[in-house]
Amino acid sequence: MPAVTAMKHKKGDFLVDYEEKVFEDVKAKPGEKALVTFHTVAFEGSIGFVNLLQATRLKRKGFDTSILLGFQDYCTPPLNTPGQLKVAP
């Protein structure tokens, strides 16, 4: 069995460096918008959860955020009609 030779972490230690910013902190400029699309059955499976987390993050960054639900084979969003869905027969 291999042995662990690293020192144990102490209370208050961090496993990652939270002070180092690898990417710049992007904030929305006034009037900037973001669109998050669901191309799945909404609220089923992990991708729906990831999309909701992304929308929440964009909202916190200051973007005017919208979510578009586009269900595959069930309905398609019509062009030039925001907020409405065309339900397929």
The pLDDT tens digits for 34-62 are 998 877 665 567 777 888 899 999 999 99
Which of the four pLDDT bands, split at 50, 70 and 90, describes residue 89?
very low
Q: Is the dihedral of CA 14, 19, 20, 21 positive or negative?
A: positive
Mean pLDDT of the chain, nearest integer: 78
Which letter does DSSP use for residue 30 in this model?
A: T
* Both structure tokens of 49: 């959860």
pTM over 0.75: no
What is the average per-residue pLDDT within 11-20? Answer: 84
